[in-house]
Amino acid sequence: MVTLKQLAKELNVSISTVSKALNNSEEIGEETIKRVKELAALYQYKPNKVALSLKQNKTKTIGVIIPDILNHFLAKVLFGIEREAVKYGYNIITCISNESLEQEKEGLRLLANGSVDGFILSVAEETQEKKEIEHFKRTISQGLPIVMFDRVAHDVLCDKVIVDDYDATYNATKSLLQEKRKNIVFITSIDGLSVGKLRERGYTKAILENNGNQPMVLKIKKKDDQQKKIMSFFKKNKNIDGVIAADSSSGIIAINTAIKLGLKVPKDISVIGFASKSDSYHTIPQLTTIRQHAKEIGAQAAQMLINRLQNKPVEEDVKTKIVKTSLIKSKSTL
């Protein structure tokens, strides 16, 4: 890479003249500007990002810590973050915490050394279980703002972008109840997450409001064979006529299992699941889904962080944005 120094030497002017010329400074003569720019173009000069970062004490880089990149929702949020960030000239450094507290801490530590100007993250499962928040607080007190999304640590004072998980399952369940479904099961493989708990509560609330109904929850562990678990549950509970799935694969598997057992979907049983549009194509009939607008969540998170980074006046008030889910009716409900 060419440097200002080299250009200056070749042009027989000083480094600062070159610098100013390239930045269209008023101080420099037209003729000089032209000469400088021509040589710069010839050599494809690009200002060294690292030097700029050091000088200006900001990197225009955002650290993103994500629990699981293979999770379609999280990947889509990352996509949203990236799209929004590039608009403002920011880059994204990604760390994957693998749902591990230790790796989450490590990610923060590794990047909190001047590599990034701030963080966007979703809290790892283990972190939520152990309720650890010190590492977040420490990072913030070091002057690096954090924006949390989806799985947030409520006790950390920072900007947040969340989903209306509780309302989403409450409304979805209500809609199945309106279909006169009597035995609606809630299937979850994300019991350990804050959002998983909220989703369960929304479902439970709706069920209990309906006189005489009792909530019924099927919890699946990560290491379980989901297909087997759901199959054996369906076999034991022949009267199931509705499913609310807290995660996409539970919803997909529920439909396929019902069909395998000879049930008609949605005539005999309705299924609603948290899932993306592309997931909904993985079943026939197509899954009625609760959409989280992942990309939008990412964009909002990026905006909040960038806003905080650029507004020097210390805004002390943290904000929490709620990106509402949409219930997209398809063919797996009446």
Partner DNA sequence: GTGAAAGCGCTAACAA
Partner DNA sequence: TTGTTAGCGCTTTCAC
Query: Beta strands of 11-101 (E only): which ranges?
Result: 61-66, 91-96
Task: Select from 9, 10, 23, 237 the one that contacts DNA (CB under 7 A).
Answer: 23
* Shortest distance in whole angstroms from residue 146 CB to DNA: 21
Task: Select from 210, 213, 286, 330 the one that contacts its own copies (CB under 8 A).
Answer: 286
Cα 297 versus chain centre, distance:
6
Q: How far apart are CA 297 and CA 161, in angstroms?
A: 7
Part in contact with DNA (CB under 7 A); list of ranges 6-14, 178-186, 207-215, 290-298: 6-14
190 touches its own copies by CB under 8 A:
no
Q: Using CB under 8 A, which residues numbered 143 to 172 contact its own copies?
A: 143
Q: How far apart are CA 271 and CA 249, in angstroms?
A: 12
Burial of 27 (0-12, 13-18, 19+ CB in 10 A): exposed
Q: How many CA atoms lie within 13 A of 15 on its CB side?
A: 6
Which residues, 6+ apart, have CB-to-CB distance to 58 below 8 Å?
Answer: 117, 309
Among all chains, which residue has been given the structure tokens 């909220």?
Answer: 198
94 touches its own copies by CB under 8 A:
yes
Task: Select from 42, 52, 208, 284 the one that contacts DNA (CB under 7 A).
Answer: 52
Note the residues at the interface with DNA (CB under 7 A): 3-5, 12-17, 19-20, 22-23, 25-29, 31-32, 45-48, 51-52, 54-57
Note the residues at the interface with its own copies (CB under 8 A): 1, 44, 46-51, 53-54, 59, 61, 69-70, 72, 75-76, 78-79, 82-83, 86, 91-96, 110-115, 142-143, 226-227, 249, 252-253, 256-257, 259-260, 278, 281-284, 286
